[in-house]
Amino acid sequence: MKKIIVACGSGIATSTVARNALEEKLKAKGIDATQVSMDQTSIPQLRSKADQFDLAITTGKFTEDIGVPVLNGLPFLTGVGEDELVQKVIDALDLKPKA
């Protein structure tokens, strides 16, 4: 199972929106909760938790190297570029739809 952490300023508001959007988009592509688990945190706490995850998505500006790929989650809030971001997540984690 691949693990994704979604981070925003507080770890509550926009990370919830981004997480829900990603879950819906992955499910629509045949990727479900048996393949991916997600958690949320605040951007300040991201560095201390990153080693527990395969991928990080942030809704705010974040440029640090934390040892895992970091994707900008802004498209999940705006809807602009959302499909491309979902594909980046799928590619980064080598996810395959369930048959």
> Is the CATH number of domain 2-92 3.30.2040.10?
no
Which residue type, as a one-letter code, is found at position 34? T
- In whole angstroms, what is the distance from residue 15 CA to residue 10 CA? 8
Q: What is the pLDDT of residue 11?
A: 87
* C-alpha closest to that of 9 among 38, 48, 42, 33: 42
pLDDT tens sequence across 26-41: 999 999 889 999 999 9
Write the CB contacts of 13 (distance below 8 Å, at least 6 apart in sequence).
none
Domain ranges of the chain: 2-92
Q: Who wins on pLDDT, 11 or 68?
A: 68
User: Average per-residue pLDDT in the chain?
Assistant: 95
Has residue 15 got a pLDDT over 80? yes
Band (99; pLDDT cuts 50, 70, 90): low
Residues tagged active-site: 8
- In whole angstroms, what is the distance from residue 9 CA to residue 31 CA? 28
